[in-house]
Amino acid sequence: MKLTLTLSAAFALTAGAVFADGHASGDAEAGEAIFKQCSSCHVIQNGDEVLAGRGKTGPNLYGLFGRQAGTVEGFRYGDSLVAAGEAGLTWNEEDFLAYVTDPRKFLQATLDDSKARSKMSFKLRKGGEDVWAYLATFGEAATN
């Protein structure tokens, strides 16, 4: 009985860490370091407060978890990403990982359109789950 309670408590603590920050499976601390590759184009900004990044080429990634794709006010997205959002794409870990690995291929598959294109040419080869875990710490979903 004591062993069962101990194992249950250990599982609960581990599960809390795994599902923290918007149900992310990666390591947010490692993701912060990897995000430096993203920060030349992207910013994480809440109102006037810049929390990370310095870029202006890509959209603000604050509150990305659960947000409809292509909807940051004031950012001019490519037509394919807007179409994917209008078709129901909201950012979750699985779709984020597929997108950052190969944005054009992801949009082509999502829209079933071989002509779909992405304005994001960068491909993140590894560490995407960690970047997702880091991004999931920013925004309203981070508190859920």
DSSP secondary structure code for residue 58 in this structure: S
- 48: domain CATH number is 1.10.760.10
**Which residues sit opposite 50 in a β-bridge?**
45
Residue 86's nearest CA partner among 75, 103, 71, 74 is 71
Backbone phi and psi for residue 116, each to the nearest 5 degrees, phi listed first: -65, 140
Judge contact between 39 and 113, C-beta under 8 A.
Answer: no
Domain that holds residue 128: 2-143
User: Residue 73: how many CB atoms within 10 A of its CB?
Assistant: 6
pLDDT tens, position by position, 74-97: 899 999 999 999 999 999 999 999
CA distance 143 to 138: 9
| 73 vs 104, higher pLDDT | 104
Number of domains into which the chain is organized: 1
pLDDT tens, position by position, 21-49: 345 689 999 999 999 999 999 999 998 88
Judge contact between 100 and 128, C-beta under 8 A.
Answer: yes
